Structure 1
Amino acid sequence: MTVSDQAVELRLPALAITQSPGRVLYQFAVDGKLLDDFATVSRIRRDDESAVQGYQRPESLQHITAIRKYIESDAPMIPNGIVIAFDDRVRFEPSVKSDTYSVPGEIVIPVDVSEAPELRPGWIVDGQQRTAAIRDANVSQFPIPVTAFITANEEEQREQFILVNSTKPLPRSLIYELIPGTTGMLPPSLARRKISAELLDLLNWDSESPFHWRIQTPTNPEGVIKDNSILRMLDNSIIEGYLYNFRDPVDGTGDLEAMATVVNDYWTAVSLVFPGDWNSTPRKSRLVHGAGIVAMGFLMDAMCDRLRDENRLNVDGFLAEVSLIADSCAWSSGEWELASGTKRKWNDFQNTSKDIQILANHVLAAYRNSRRTR
């Protein structure tokens, strides 16, 4: 279906759904390539008197590009529809008489592509990024579900925009736990973490792993180590540390079993050198706190390179190396004596990039100094 340059009426099969007195929704499907012909975005701005007008945020080009690439992939599916507010030029014509809350018929939308965008009968309340992605995608058509309501009141449009977009997003932890079982295309930000999430999953459920049932996830709320701390530690190593050696840089997959062996051997050694600190909680021990997990991950990478060259990349090899820094750590009590000459109470380190870097530098320096004096 195409829309000519002249004014026409676009008639689409639709359902009118009455939710409450005076509140009717219209649901229909339309080729997403046609959305720009009858709907526009009420971009948020301020008028000459500094009053807020419109309600939509600017387009996110990165987000649009990610959606467009997905649409251009094999067998894409976008089940969540676009929400549009129509003015009273749009009408619904029922095909049957019915006393039920759902009535079939046609929605009739006037289309005049010669009109300025702000004069179109529809305003996109939710879905501007998807609309732009479909518009730019190199596909001939892409049908999309639409939920619409009719109102000439911008306040009601803005109200619905706020309600649609202020719902609580999915917890990141839940998303990360779902990723390992996802085989379809993911947004780039999540695709980069897929292998880390798969490795975390393997560590948490392997009965031989020191992390067995210790990583807190939605399905393991009793775990004491935050999943994001583990993911950050694994990300660092997979992206530019020792675990990168087991990753396929082309498709982002990797040898999970080989990665898990290295991680388990290293952290087994850590748990043996610091048993009390390891079998504790983040509040009582910085070893199982985000700062300690990520900092000790950097130490793992440094040790792996040396132990691989010495053919000692196993629990015993790690045990000998981790023992070298035992006297330089204050995971649960006392003070950290830093190279700068400053001292910090054992629990002063927080899960911030700055503190993690300071702690990582400390354990790495302690390791290098101990090897030199051994």
Structure 2
Amino acid sequence: MSRTKRSILRLPALRIKQGSREIYSFAVDGKLLLDFTAVSRIGRAGDGELAGYQRPEVISHIRAIRRYIETDGAMLPNAVVVAFNGEVHFRPSRTASVLDFATVGELQIPIGVDGVDKPALLVDGQQRVAAIRDAEVESFPIAAVGFVADDDEQRSQFILVNNTKPLPKGLIHELIPGSAGYLPPKYARRKLPASVMTQLNLNPEGPFFERIQTPTSPDGYIKDNSVLKMIENSLFEGALYRYRDPIDGSGDEATMVAHLEMFWSIVRETWPDEWALAPRKSRLTHGVGIQSLGYVMDTLTDGYHVDHLDRAEIERKMKSIDQIAAWSGGQWSLAPDDLRRWNGLQNTPNDVKLLTNLLLRAVRN
């Protein structure tokens, strides 16, 4: 039977002020947590917008935690982290607070309506919560920390909470573009490249459409890190630099995407068969090929706005590469004393440099 009336879960809580923000520390029966907390699974909406941020449940991990919870003396001391929407309220108690930044009170959380979005999303602790959900115990109280935030900030907090844990890089790359607030420097540097990469992967008319492997595009065969490195190199030292604001790190993303798609559509048209093959069968879609051709793009297009590029001239230059290329068969003649089988090149700095030099000699001659 559908529940249509909302009830209020009232929990003792401590409100802690951190600058202009507030967080809430409270205890709750882990069996009740999913009554008001949802897990935001990462995916893409129909319009291509990123939805959610959580990776799938890891069954083996959940099973191990569950077995532990079902033993005598089990303890999970780490708090789970939840992000509340504006429906959750804190009512301070009448007792005077000893500390000016900490207030004892009651957290009021609405629960109990089917078909209505839950007022909280789980930012950290989904495997523990799933294990408690499945465990054959009557209850299992846990510590929790909550804060009020919108969807973009939830993603940032998710990245920050998991910064010291081995989150899959692909998941981070998809989350970064839609994240708001502070990000660690290594992630902040990749925010713009990751956003550009996402747009390349989502454009049905573009050469990279669904070819870049990400959590929301698992059938892609070009490694996201290869494309990211290519974009980063061009943003900071190459042709895409002209579209970037070096002060705040922002940029004209639409024009960057147009510039990249113009060049890489020529790559696709020059080598259509090799472009359709996975990296193990074609060095064109391998990291060494993506990065090396990225440097070729910078050489041929640096200093020109995409609207003023001579496509016919670039196509002619790419045909000169075709004469010496060994993307999926034959040999690379890197130097008089350095012949490599087509798959002998690896995604290492040295091999990227060797292949780049070979390709640049071809287009310059």
Instruction: Pick the TM interval, shorter chain.
Output: 0.5 to 0.7
Please say if 1:339 is aligned against 2:335: yes
Structure 1 pair 328/168, CA: closer, same or farther in 2 (3 Å)? same
Please say if 1:298 is aligned against 2:349: no
Please say if 1:367 is aligned against 2:363: yes
Please say if 1:267 is aligned against 2:254: no
Structure 1 pair 309/229, CA: closer, same or farther in 2 (3 Å)? closer
Q: Offset of 1:360 from its aligned partner?
A: 0.8
Superposition RMSD on alpha carbons, in Å? 3.8
Matched with 1:353 is 349
Mapped partners of 2:354, 2:184: distance in 1: 32
- Work out which of the two has the higher radius of gyration on C-alpha atoms and give 1 or 2: 1
Q: How does 1:92-171 map to 2 (within 5 A)?
A: 101-102=140-141, 169-171=166-168
Q: Which moved more, 1:308-317 or 1:237-246?
A: 308-317
Maintained 8 Å contact 2:77/2:142: no
Structure 1 pair 341/312, CA: closer, same or farther in 2 (3 Å)? farther
Maintained 8 Å contact 1:177/1:217: yes
Please say if 1:219 is aligned against 2:216: yes
Q: How does 1:287-326 map to 2 (within 5 A)?
A: 287-305=284-302, 308=304, 313-326=309-322
Match for 1:21 among 52, 69, 72? 72
Maintained 8 Å contact 2:258/2:306: no
Q: Offset of 1:341 from its aligned partner?
A: 3.9
Q: How many residues are aligned here? A: 239
Q: After superposition, give the CA deviation of every residue in 1:117-141 in whole Å (9 maximum; x if it has no partner).
A: xxxxxxxxxxxxxxxxxxxxxxxxx
Matched with 1:62 is none
Structure 2, unpaired ranges of 5+: 1-24, 31-68, 80-98, 102-122, 126-137, 147-161
Match for 2:186 among 184, 189, 204? 189
Mapped partners of 2:256, 2:74: distance in 1: 56
Amino acid at match of 1:342: D
Q: How does 1:193-212 map to 2 (within 5 A)?
A: 193-212=190-209
TM normalised by structure 1 equals 0.56
Structure 1 pair 168/14, CA: closer, same or farther in 2 (3 Å)? closer
Maintained 8 Å contact 2:255/2:306: no
Matched with 2:117 is none
Mapped partners of 2:195, 2:142: distance in 1: 46
Q: Offset of 1:322 from its aligned partner?
A: 1.3
Mapped partners of 1:357, 1:171: distance in 2: 28
Maintained 8 Å contact 2:326/2:332: yes
Q: Aligned to 1:365, what secondary structure does the other structure show?
A: helix
Q: Offset of 1:329 from its aligned partner?
A: 1.0
Structure 1 pair 237/205, CA: closer, same or farther in 2 (3 Å)? same
Amino acid at match of 1:239: F
Matched with 1:177 is 174
Q: How does 1:59-78 map to 2 (within 5 A)?
A: none
Q: Offset of 1:23 from its aligned partner?
A: 3.6
Q: Aligned to 2:204, what secondary structure does the other structure show?
A: coil
Structure 1, unpaired ranges of 5+: 1-12, 34-78, 82-98, 105-143, 147-164
Mapped partners of 1:239, 1:27: distance in 2: 40
Amino acid at match of 2:302: D
Mapped partners of 2:223, 2:266: distance in 1: 20
Structure 1 pair 171/301, CA: closer, same or farther in 2 (3 Å)? same
Q: Offset of 1:176 from its aligned partner?
A: 0.3
Amino acid at match of 1:266: F
Mapped partners of 1:103, 1:172: distance in 2: 29
Q: Aligned to 2:219, what secondary structure does the other structure show?
A: coil
Amino acid at match of 1:248: D
Q: After superposition, give the CA deviation of every residue in 1:72-125 in whole Å (9 maximum; x if it has no partner).
A: xxxxxxx769xxxxxxxxxxxxxxxxx965499xxxxxxxxxxxxxxxxxxxxx
Structure 1 pair 334/259, CA: closer, same or farther in 2 (3 Å)? same
Mapped partners of 1:235, 1:332: distance in 2: 26
Maintained 8 Å contact 1:216/1:225: yes
Maintained 8 Å contact 1:16/1:27: no
Amino acid at match of 2:360: L
Maintained 8 Å contact 1:16/1:24: no
Q: Aligned to 1:236, what secondary structure does the other structure show?
A: helix
Amino acid at match of 1:217: T
Matched with 1:256 is 253
Q: Offset of 1:177 from its aligned partner?
A: 0.9
Structure 1 pair 233/17, CA: closer, same or farther in 2 (3 Å)? same
Identity %: 42
Q: Aligned to 1:338, what secondary structure does the other structure show?
A: strand
